[in-house]
């Protein structure tokens, strides 16, 4: 490289004192100028990561130098993010913990070091963006000398490096949450990293879809932009990442069979094991059917390659899908995957989590209303007003109407098996004090258990959607220990379908009381879907007959001794008439399109009246509030002990043994409410 002579001090004269200081300064300028003229190495993101990325013990289970060879499937995905690749949008629908976030962080480091420009990194919420900054981005910068010297150090008076922004020569990294419209439209961005997009809210501060708002920041960069969308999927029809993946070329990671060499992408149905022995899990080749032991996985991944399985709607978009079956040795093993699958059986929530987080697939919500006439044919007979042996506690759901309050009482047992015990219509409505008095009396009413013990309601959940003030006033009067005011909201929340309580202002006797009532919020779609799924389950089988894949033997139908019921079985009495059954099946789940073209699931009425379904949802919410979904075997056994029943009593109760349990065991008689009032 030639350098202008005027910038070089003559060598003929000795240099000392101030002249030496000036010479050192000039030499430093020369070195910096020369370094600036040196082109950056032509690296891809994966090459940069292997050369420069160090994983911190604060943010990684395997600290040390990053190696793309540890997760070979991430190599192509990272390289698509390199400036030399023409792809503009990269979509990654994946299982949890396959290395996607670290690949995105590698891209951030690469951009800071090799191709600086404005970058926007979006988490589902601002709080998660702050946490990601502390736990991921700060260690990324701290552990890499190349990044430390480029990102301004964090100083109290220096706004260049804050929790949510990192300035560097030639660019800036802005971190924000999808719930902040201000953050999403704050600055143009050449690079956009959208992490866990299925957890984004439907709208950012009511200003529109967060993904659309974020991507709009990159349009001025035309073909030079890069957008990386990553997420574990959620619900079919609602999943953003699935919608984006299906519009892409849908790449799958094909690996060779170590026995016959056939290339194939891994599917869960080809993972097989001996029942009850997850440690025997092996993958069966779809070509030669030879079992493949997991120790072959490392070599299979090294020889794997991504292949498109569809034609993309947008040629500038590529999409990738990966399940946890590809997880490297030492991470999530096939044995642990099998154990997770076995443990999930019988729980809708657990199976959904398995499909989302391990298979990287969406969950299909099925809300088709069962045929009410079929339910009528399946009604059972037991003494009216009594609780079958399997029912271990009672809850009620109350729906407030203009001229009445309708109440259904449900009994619950192990596995959330349930029985409709009573249906009451309290005439008069919320404007009639006598109607409220009847509801108050109901809290002290008893129903006789098959053991002979009288039972009262453990919790009553009452809807606050109509005449809210009257509901709050009554709830406050009788006390919140046995009553839970609830507010139903549309939407699914399987991890926590009931949230609260929150303290809300209430008008009591004409006085406005701050925080005068406790309110629980119920994701009604979750419990409606669960109810219809339970109603569609196969009817019980007798011991010795062909069995369903998953059974719980502690509970049997109250009128057919020796029968096996799957978890969640709903038992309806013969006094439940056609009108009640029609109300119970009065809605169906449909997919509707918003004005912006996005899909959402919505419950739609098939009939005008749906009080029976609403009361079931509220009674189910009351069971959740009590904690029944999370009770241990010991707690269920404690309830059985309170009632003086055994597992054999539960199995024998009903028409197969007409002798009341009380006459067989003669337990001490007492009123059972529940020790788990919550």
**Spatial contact of 180 and 126, defined as CB atoms under 8 Å apart:** yes
Q: State the total domains in the chain.
A: 3
Provide φ and ψ at 395, rounded to 5°. Answer: -130, 165
In this prediction, residue 554 carries a pLDDT of 31
Looking at the domain assignment, is residue 363 inside a domain? no
CA-to-CA distance for 321 and 337, rounded, in angstroms? 18
Give percent above pLDDT 90 in the chain. Answer: 51
Query: Is the domain of 165 the same as that of 262?
Result: yes
Query: Is the domain of 470 the same as that of 331?
Result: no
Query: Is the domain of 61 the same as that of 20?
Result: no
Looking at the domain assignment, is residue 630 inside a domain? yes
Looking at the domain assignment, is residue 594 inside a domain? yes
In this prediction, residue 51 carries a pLDDT of 92
In this prediction, residue 536 carries a pLDDT of 82
pLDDT in tens, 506-522: 766 666 777 667 899 99
pLDDT in tens, 6-44: 434 444 445 555 555 455 556 666 665 555 555 545 789
Where in the sequence is the domain holding 58, given as residue range(s)? 45-357
Query: Is the domain of 305 the same as that of 419?
Result: no
Looking at the domain assignment, is residue 370 inside a domain? no
Looking at the domain assignment, is residue 371 inside a domain? no
Query: Is the domain of 330 the same as that of 397?
Result: no
**Spatial contact of 567 and 416, defined as CB atoms under 8 Å apart:** yes
Looking at the domain assignment, is residue 339 inside a domain? yes
Provide φ and ψ at 176, rounded to 5°. Answer: -155, 180
**Spatial contact of 330 and 99, defined as CB atoms under 8 Å apart:** no
Q: Which residue has the tokens 């539960």?
A: 650
The CATH number of the domain where 164 resides is what? Answer: 3.40.50.300
567 band by pLDDT with thresholds 50, 70 and 90: confident
Which of the two residues, 160 and 403, has the higher pLDDT score?
Answer: 403
Looking at the domain assignment, is residue 414 inside a domain? yes
186: Cβ contacts below 8 Å, ≥ 6 apart: 174, 176
Give the 3-state secondary structure of residue 522.
strand
């Amino acid at each position: 490289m030639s350098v202008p002579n005027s910038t070089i001090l003559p060598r003929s004269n000795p240099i000392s004192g101030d002249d030496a200081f000036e010479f050192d300064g000039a030499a430093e300028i020369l070195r910096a100028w020369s370094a600036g003229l040196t082109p950056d190495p032509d690296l891809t993101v994966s090459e940069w990561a292997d050369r420069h990325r160090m994983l911190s013990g604060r943010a990684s289970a395997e600290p040390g130098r990053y190696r793309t060879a540890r997760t070979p499937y991430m190599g192509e995905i990272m390289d698509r993010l390199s400036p030399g690749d023409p792809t503009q949008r990269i979509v990654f629908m994946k299982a949890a913990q396959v290395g996607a976030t670290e690949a995105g962080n590698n891209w951030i480091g690469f951009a800071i070091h090799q191709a600086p420009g404005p970058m926007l990194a979006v988490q589902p919420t601002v709080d998660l963006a702050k946490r990601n900054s502390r736990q991921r981005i700060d260690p990324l910068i701290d552990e890499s000398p190349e990044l430390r010297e480029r990102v301004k150090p964090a100083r109290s008076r220096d706004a260049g490096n804050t929790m949510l922004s990192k300035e560097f020569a030639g660019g800036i990294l802005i971190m924000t949450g999808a719930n902040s419209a201000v953050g999403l439209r704050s600055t143009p961005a050449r690079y956009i990293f959208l992490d866990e997009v299925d957890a984004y809210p439907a709208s950012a501060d009511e200003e529109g879809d967060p993904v659309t708002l974020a991507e709009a920041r990159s349009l001025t960069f035309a073909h030079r932009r890069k957008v990386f969308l990553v997420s574990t999927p959620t619900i079919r029809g609602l999943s953003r990442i699935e919608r984006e993946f299906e519009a892409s070329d849908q790449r799958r990671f094909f690996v060779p069979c170590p026995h016959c060499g056939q290339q194939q992408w891994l599917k869960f149905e080809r993972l097989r094991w001996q029942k009850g022995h997850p440690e025997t899990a092996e993958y069966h080749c779809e070509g030669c059917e030879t079992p493949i032991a997991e120790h072959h996985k490392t070599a299979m991944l090294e020889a794997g390659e991504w292949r498109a399985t569809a034609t993309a709607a947008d040629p500038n978009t590529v999409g990738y899908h990966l399940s946890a079956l590809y997880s490297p040795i030492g991470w999530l093993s096939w044995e642990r995957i099998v154990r997770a699958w076995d443990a999930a059986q019988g729980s809708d929530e657990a199976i959904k989590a398995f499909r989302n987080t391990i298979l990287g697939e969406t969950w299909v919500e099925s809300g088709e209303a069962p045929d009410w006439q079929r339910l009528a044919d399946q009604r059972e007979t037991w003494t009216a007003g009594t609780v079958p042996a399997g029912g271990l506690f009672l809850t009620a759901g109350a729906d407030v109407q203009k001229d009445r309050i309708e109440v259904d009482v449900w009994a619950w047992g192990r596995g959330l098996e349930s029985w409709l015990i009573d249906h009451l219509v309290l005439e008069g409505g919320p404007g009639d004090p006598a109607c409220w008095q009847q509801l108050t009396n109901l809290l002290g009413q008893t129903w006789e258990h098959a053991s002979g013990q009288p039972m009262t309601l453990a919790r009553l959940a009452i809807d606050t959607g109509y005449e809210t003030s009257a509901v709050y006033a009554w709830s406050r009067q009788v006390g919140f220990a046995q009553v839970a005011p609830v507010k139903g909201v549309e939407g699914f929340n399987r991890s926590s379908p009931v949230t609260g309580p929150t303290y809300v202002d209430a008008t009591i006797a004409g006085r406005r009381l701050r925080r005068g009532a406790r309110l629980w919020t119920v994701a009604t779609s979750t419990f409606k879907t669960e109810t219809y799924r339970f109603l569609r389950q196969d009817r019980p089988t007798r011991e010795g007959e062909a069995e369903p894949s998953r059974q719980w033997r502690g509970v049997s139908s109250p009128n057919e001794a020796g029968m096996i019921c799957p978890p969640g079985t709903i038992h309806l009495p013969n006094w439940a008439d056609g009108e009640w059954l029609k109300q119970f099946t009065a809605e169906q789940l449909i997919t509707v399109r918003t004005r912006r073209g996005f899909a959402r699931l919505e419950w739609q009425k098939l009939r005008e009246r749906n009080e029976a379904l609403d009361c079931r949802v509220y009674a189910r919410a009351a069971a959740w509030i009590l904690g029944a979904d999370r009770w241990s075997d010991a707690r269920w056994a404690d309830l059985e002990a309170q009632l003086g029943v055994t597992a054999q009593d539960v199995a024998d109760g009903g028409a197969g043994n007409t002798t009341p349990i009380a006459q067989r065991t003669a337990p001490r008689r007492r009123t059972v409410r529940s020790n788990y009032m919550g």
